[in-house]
Each structure stands twice: as C-alpha cells, then as structure tokens.
Amino acid sequence: MTTNIETAAKTLTHFIGGEMKEGQSERFAKVYNPSTGEVTALCPLASEAEVNEAVEIANKAFPAWKKTSVAKRAEVIFNFRNLLLQEINQLANMIGLESGKTVSDAKGEILRGIESVDFALNAPHLLKGEYSVNVGGKINSYSIKQPLGVVAAISPFNFPVMVPLAMTSMAVAVGNAVILKPSERVPNSALFISDLWKKAGLPDGIWTIINGDKEAVDALLHHPKVYAISFVGSTRVAEYVYHEGTRHNKRVAAFGGGKNHMVIMPDADIDQAVTSFLGAAYGSASQRCMAISVAMPVGQKTAEAFVEKLKTRVEQLKVGAYNDEEADFGAVITQESKDAVIRSINESLSEGAQLCVDGRNPEISETDKGFYLGPTLLDGVTPEMKIYRDEVFGPARIVVRVDSLDEAIQLINDHEYGNGVTIFTDNGAAARKFTEEIEVGMVGVNVPIPIPVGYHNFGGWKGSKFGDGHMFGPDTVRFFTKSKTISERWNDSKQVESKTEFSFPSNQ
Ligand code: NAD
C-alpha cells in the first residue's frame, strides 16, 4: 500500500540510448532521505526484457565508438571531468540527500572519483601496444589492445558517484559501451552523471543506466553480449556474481566487504593514531569498504593509553543531517541497516564485550525520523566474537588487544576479509615486516585509510575480492580490453614463395 508521502515522491527513470526512459516493469524500490526517513523517489526495477533491449542498443552504438580516435575519446573524458567539477555542489547535495553522508564528505567522494577520470585521460598512452621488427623472414610482429564491446558495472549504495566513476571511466576511454546498474537505494546521482556524459559529447548508447535489483543483475550476468562485469558490493553477492558471471564465460572482477584493522605499536605516536582512527573509523557513518573497524593496540600499556584518549574523542563526535555543517557524519542508509548495527552491538555485549561509548540512542531532534546512530566504541572484543568476524556497516567500532606484532599479523591473516589494513609505528623494521607478511590487498603505514590514488591499482584479497581484476588503476586497461597479436610480412616485390614449408618454422 502506498502512503501519501510515496505518492508525492517522484518516479525515476533509466538512461538508455542517450535518453531518460520510463521503466516498464511496474516494479519500484523506495528511495529514502536517510536524514529524515522520508521516501523521496521511486526507483524503477528493470525486467529482463528491458535489460536485453538496453544491451542491444549499447551493442549497436559500440562499433562507432570503438573506431573513434582515442584522442577524440579522451576529449570527451576531459569534458566530462570539467562538468563534474562545475556541478560538484549540486552533485554533492544529491549524494547527501540520498545516502545520508555529509555534503563535505560527498564532495571528497566526487574528487576521489575524478582521480579515476583523470587517469582515464591517459588512455592514448596506455593503449600503446608492443612492436617487434623482423622477427624472421621480413615479418614484423605487434600486439594491440581492443575494447571488449558491451561491459557492465554493478555498484553499491555507499559511494553513489566515486565507485561508478572508478569502475567505468577507463572502460569508456578504451572504447567500450558501458552499462551501469547503480544501487537501487541511490539512483539519482547515477542519472545525474548520465546527463553530464551526454553534455560532454559521449555518443548515445555508450553510457546506459539500468536501474534494478537482482533481476536486472541476473539479466546482465546471463546476456551473451555482455563481455565483462565489474561488481562492487557485499561479499555474499560478490561471490555469487563472480561464479554466475564466469559460468557464463565473462570476465568478472567482484569486490566485496572488508574488516579493516589498525595496528598501533608501542612506539607509535598515540595522538596521531587516535586522530587518524576517528576519521577512518567513523567517517561516512563507517559505511566504507575501507573504513577502519578494528583498533588493535599491541601491549597493555599501548592499549590503556590509546583507549583512554580515543574514548574522550569518540564521545565528542556529532551525528547529524547530511546538510548539517557541524555533523562529523550522517545517518545510515536504512532503518534495517540501523537495526542490524544495534543487533551486532547487543550480541557483542552478551558475548562479553565492554561498552566504552554507546551510540545506540543518539540525541537527535524528536521530529527527526532519520536513521541515526551515534558512535559506539567497544573494548575487550575477542577474535571469537561475531562482531569481530562480521563486517559491521555502521558506526560501531571495536578494540581487540594483542600482545605482539606477530599475534596481530596472525589474526589479520586468519580473517575472512583482506581489503585494507594500516599500522602506526615509528619503527621501520616493524613496518617492513608488517607490509611483507600481511595478507591484505591495500596496506598503510602511518596513514589512516590506505586507499590508493587513481593511478595505482585498487583491490583487496581473500573474501574482499573475487576474480583477477582491479576496480581502478592501470590494471583496468587490461581488464577492459583484449589483446590481439599480429604477425605480418610485406615482401619487397610481388615475388611468389617457390618453396612450401611443411615443418614448423623456427625463425632461425
Ligand atoms: P549489496 O551487495 O547489497 O548491493 C550491491 C549491488 O548488488 C547493488 O547494485 C544491488 O542492487 C545488487 N544486489 C543486491 N543483492 C543482490 C543479489 N542477491 N543478486 C544480485 N545482485 C544483487 O551492497 P550494498 O549494501 O549496496 O553496499 C555495501 C557493501 O559493499 C559493503 O559490504 C561494502 O563493504 C561493499 N563495498 C565494497 C567495496 C570494495 O571496494 N571492496 C567498495 C564499496 C562497497
């Protein structure tokens, strides 16, 4: 049954063939403003038939884009980058409205996303192949990288702009037709950037938005003309997408959840570690795959000093609406998300964790029905507890005390996830041992969150990534192209070879 608020909510569209297209399936998801709890829009959920139609349109547009000079393609990317910067305020506001994150955090996300767009400007250089002269008998041999055709990106709610830009910029630049299936919880931002692609001069059909849920994802995974899938979301779904996509002979890079540790050594600057932990752990209401979720102080003295200072600072953090300039972070994405975080806290308490700061009932104006949680800090968490094993996607952070660096490394290596990790220390030998032995894809030393810059590869290990691709960075050129090797001979004159070779030529 629809309420008055829902009937007042606007109905969104897809973006197919360069136009906003109404959904045909008559299935919709509610889009909330997490800061007020109101339904602001209805997101169409595409049927398999709608996905198939969009793939055909993209497939028709692909050959001309493939043949467009790489310099012209880079020009479109350049225009798109400038438009993103021009519209940053409006776009940041839209991200805040639909995801709950603060506007300043949303601006940061856009700027980090633009790093991937910037890197895609290097496509003319990155697409250069290899060439060997006179490999034998007047033959030259060379390899080229060609686009795949239609490729798809499936993105999560927590970075409505940064993750889609990271997944798709290089795919467009190297000549593919891209279909983005954004999270049905944050579809506005993706539609907004579609307009910018069009204004930048991208031909119709090269950028498509299919809004939807599992039905649309399955249709993309099964379509024979979709050649690669880049997925970002929870581990359970990432693993499914990887298996289902590869079973249908596609390239798949599927990025999942994380449980990121910060190890604090006895020689670390405790104030620096505390300040770094606060932003890295609670920023975006901890809804980041690279958020630090576990503080792991080494030794009792380190733990006492760290927890005492951290507790005071955590108590001072302020949760608020996305447009509240005083807020350190905003609401979580849905009421279900909020309930799940509270459940995790309660379970950990029944297992023996100690509550240092309780954020389960934050003080927010009574008229506000938003999905708010204050910052929670739990000490005395042990590796056996569920809250240590699970990814908790909300502002409940934990302290796990260990006795040595070896114990820290062992616990982190034994954990299901391997997205990011960081160590705070003044000891180069400890840092070196840590970076060498740790089984995690992105590692920091004295930095809060080790997200690589746009021109390095992004991707975790273990349960944080399935497949052999990266979300952004140089590796995406390989992921979104296929390499072709050509051997060619041009004789000096039209002389015909008089001798037929039946044995395999050795080129000696
Ligand atoms: P999610 O897995 O619920 O959704 C991600 C995408 O998958 C969405 O587009 C959604 O529509 C689709 N989807 C959901 N259920 C599906 C199903 N059963 N079958 C097919 N498709 C399905 O994730 P979310 O809640 O939107 O995002 C948060 C998660 O994403 C967290 O676990 C976070 O750690 C992870 N994440 C990971 C990275 C990374 O780089 N590793 C980056 C951002 C977010």
Ligand 1 closest atom vs CA 241: 20
Residue 493 lies in a domain: no
In the block, residue with structure tokens 């991200």: 95
472 CA from centroid of ligand 1 (Å): 17
**pLDDT of the residue at 500:** 79
Residue 111, in any domain of the structure? yes
Are 504 and 200 contacting, i.e. CB atoms less than 8 angstroms apart? no
Query: Ligand 1 pocket, 183 CB below 6 A?
Result: yes
DSSP of 142-195:
EEEEEE-SEEEEE--SS-TTHHHHHHHHHHHHTT-EEEEE--TTSHHHHHHHHH
Q: Give the CA-trace dihedral at 424, 428, 429, 431, to 10 degrees.
A: 40
Burial group, residue 248, by CB count within 10 angstroms (0-12, 13-18, 19+): middle
In angstroms, the CA 220 to CA 212 distance is: 11
| Residue numbers of the chain with a pLDDT score lower than 50 | 1-5
Same domain, 322 and 433: yes
Residues 267 and 302 both lie in one domain: yes
Tokens of 12: 């969104």
- The pLDDT assigned to 506 comes to 64
Range of the domain at 172: 10-256+464-485
Q: Which of 67, 68, 54, 47 is closest to 16 using CA atoms?
A: 54
CA of 360 to the centre of ligand 1 (A): 24
For residue 497, being part of any structural domain is answered with no
Our answer on whether the CB atom of 187 is closer than 6 Å to any ligand 1 atom is no
Examine residue 350 and state whether it is found in any structural domain, yes or no. Answer: yes
Number of domain units in the chain: 2
The pLDDT, as a whole number, for residue 17 is: 98
3-state secondary structure of 365: coil
Task: Check residue 494 and give its pLDDT.
Answer: 67
Q: Token digits for 28?
A: 């919709």
For residue 396, give the CATH number of its domain.
3.40.309.10
Residue 4 lies in a domain: no
Q: Are residues 88 and 157 in the same domain?
A: yes
Please report the beta strands in 182-303, taking only residues with DSSP state E, as ranges in sequence order: 207-209, 226-232, 251-255, 260-264, 292-297
CA distance 149 to 174: 10
- The pLDDT of residue 2 is 41
Pairing of strands 461-462, 130-136: unpaired
CATH (domain of 56): 3.40.605.10
Q: How confident is the model at residue 30, as a pLDDT? A: 97
Structure tokens belonging to residue 142: 């060379």
pLDDT, tens digit (0-9, with 9 covering 90-100), for 203-212: 999 999 999 9
Looking at residue 504, its pLDDT comes to 76
Instruction: Indicate whether 200 and 283 sit together in one domain.
Output: no
Residue 282 Cβ < 6 Å to ligand 1: no
Closest CA to 258 of 391, 163, 157: 391
Assigned domain for 119 exists: yes
Same domain (yes/no): 54, 148:
yes
Candidates 42, 60, 54; CA nearest to 15 is: 54
419 lines ligand 1 (CB under 6 A): yes
E strand residue ranges, 313-370: 354-357
In testing the pocket of ligand 1, which one of 98, 189, 209, 213 has its CB within 8 Å of the most ligand atoms?
A: 213
Q: Are residues 79 and 162 in the same domain?
A: yes
pLDDT at 326 (0 to 100) = 94
pTM of the model: 0.95
Q: Break the chain down into helix, strand, coil percent, rounded to 5.
A: 40, 20, 40
Task: Please indicate, yes or no, if residue 357 is contained in any of the structural domains.
Answer: yes
Q: Same structural domain for residues 234 and 291?
A: no
344 and 409 in a single domain? The answer is yes
**For ligand 1, what atom is nearest to the CA of residue 289?**
34
Written as one letter, the residue type at 35 is: S
Give tens-digit pLDDT for 482-502: 999 999 998 877 666 667 778
What pLDDT score was predicted for residue 1?
Answer: 39
User: Does the residue 303 lie in any domain?
Assistant: yes
> Of 317, 313, 305, 314, which is closest to residue 269 (Cα–Cα)?
305
| 154 Cβ inside 6 Å of ligand 1 | yes
Question: Which is the closest atom of ligand 1 to the Cα of 236?
Answer: 2
From the list 161, 216, 274, 289, the catalytic residue is 289
**Does residue 289 have an active-site annotation?**
yes
Distance from residue 207's CA to the centre of ligand 1 (Å) = 21
**Measuring CA to CA, how many Å separate 11 from each of 28, 31, 173?**
9, 10, 31
Which residue's entry shows tokens 């940064």?
Answer: 162
Q: Both 302 and 345 in a single domain?
A: yes
Rounded Cα gap, residues 328 and 101, in angstroms: 9
Whether 304 and 357 map to the same domain: the answer is yes
Q: Assess contact for 423 and 385: CB atoms under 8 A.
A: no
Q: What is d(CA 26, CA 155) in angstroms, rounded to the nearest whole number? A: 22
Instruction: For residues 218 and 343, state if they share a domain.
Output: no
Among protein residues, the one with the nearest Cα to ligand 1's atom 21 is 214
**Whether residue 312 sits in one domain with residue 395:** yes
Q: Is 255 in the pocket of ligand 1 (CB under 6 A)?
A: yes
* pLDDT of the residue at 496: 65
Ligand 1 atom at minimum distance from 464 CA:
41
Q: Is the CB of 215 under 6 A from ligand 1?
A: no
In sequence order, what are the beta bridge partners of 262?
Answer: 295, 422
